[in-house]
Structure 1
Amino acid sequence: MDKANQDNNLSFQPLNTSNFGDFEYLFGEKGACEGCWCMQCRLQADEFEVGRGEGNRLAMKALVESGKIPGILAYNNNEPVGWCSLGNREDFPRLPKSHESLLIDEQTWIVSCLFVRRGWRRRGVKRALLKHLIAYCRTKGAKVLESHQCNSDFSKYPDAFAWSGIEKAYEAVGFVKVDSVSEKRPIMRYYL
């Protein structure tokens, strides 16, 4: 067990119908960030805007009820403290494609969001979530994890704009930079 897990008593569960209430509790009334409910990258821009708030929450709930596992919840004891969204590239039509995306197939999974509850940020929860995600994806047959996150100079951004995590957290668990969408959004990969 890594240090973050020991210190924070973290455990992890895939999001499903039985723990959807924990996801709602974690995201709060505003859906984490302005009614997103972790649907921004999963919907086209106009669909996302129309559904902002309750519509996006219902879209995520329908996704879970369909049997898909759209992410992993992190818990401290029984309290949800973190979330990691994941899926295949086709699950995220709004994410930009890297030059290496030409090599992507169904065995490449995308990490689109790492959200940590206020009061638990900067305590190793994102790194612990990423470590768990690597192990989880390996058991599901994934060959590559790809992520689009903020660069390491986190001080330039409010917490809400670091929803995908920062480069430093990904580097700490073995992701490598393969491309950039912009100076602010490097694309990183972990080869399983």
Structure 2
Amino acid sequence: MIDVRPATVFEDVRAVIGPKKPTSTVCFCLSYRIPSKLNNTLRGPERSEYVEKLCKEKPAPGVLAYDGDTPVGWAAIAPRAATTFARNRKIPHVDDLPVWSLWCIRVRPGHRGQGISHALIAAAVDFARTNNAPVVEAYPLDNGDTKVDLTMAYAGLRKNFEQAGFTKSADTTSTLAGHPRILMRLDLR
């Protein structure tokens, strides 16, 4: 049974999206969350410390999926205004609503193919709704039936968002792993 809840336990967030070696500089789901200059200056343990601080804030930086007590999945979601999507030139703004962005979905190896990404999307939407978001946006790959390298599928796939009730709102000029990204939205009002 998969349970998804706000990402408030840093050790669990680290288990899903953190580096294997604490000194490594990996995304840690910060590249769209913080300004590029800050993102480029945070190295190794500084990234962990930053994410640990985020886990203590309200709202939490995303949601985590658990299989029993084991963290197995992550979805990053936050108000768009608090992310780099607020200023991203490749992803358009459809309107002036204070939308929330859902930009990263990660399921740990060994737990894929069990519907966890679908549970993460649904829980992220519920999390945004609980925090009074009027709309949730996502920027998934529009890959059709083409296989996507799993390391680049973090943005999600169009079909998964369609299954969650999202609809395409706009094209973008962003690509990832050779696939166009589209802007999809789910109205929560």
Q: TM-score range by the shorter chain?
A: 0.7 to 0.9
Instruction: Work out the number of aligned pairs and report it.
Output: 178
| Deviation of 1:185 (Å) | 0.8
Taking a change above 3 Å as real, the CA distance of residues 91 and 124 of structure 1, as seen in their structure-2 partners, is same
Taking a change above 3 Å as real, the CA distance of residues 163 and 88 of structure 1, as seen in their structure-2 partners, is same
| Deviation of 1:79 (Å) | 0.7
Is the helix fraction higher in 1 or 2?
1
Q: Whole-Å Cα distance in 1 between the matches of residues 131 and 187 of structure 2?
A: 14
SS in 2 for 1:184: strand
SS in 1 for 2:63: strand
SS in 1 for 2:19: coil
- What runs of 5+ residues in structure 1 fail to find an aligned partner? 1-8
Kept in 2, the 8 Å contact 1:44–1:94? The answer is no
Q: Could you tell me the percent identity over the aligned residues?
A: 27
Show the counterpart of 1:178.
169
Q: Which residues of 2 match residues 1-192 of structure 1 at below 5 A?
A: 9-16=1-8, 19-30=9-20, 35-94=26-85, 96=88, 97-100=91-94, 102-105=95-98, 108-153=99-144, 155-182=146-173, 184-192=180-188
Kindly provide the CA deviation profile for residues 151-191 of structure 1, in whole angstroms up to 9, marking residues without a partner as x.
Answer: 23474532111111111110111000111223611110001
| Deviation of 1:38 (Å) | 0.8
Show the counterpart of 1:6.
none
Q: Taking structure 1 as the reference length, what is the TM-score of the superposition?
A: 0.82
Q: Taking structure 2 as the reference length, what is the TM-score of the superposition?
A: 0.84
| Deviation of 1:114 (Å) | 0.7
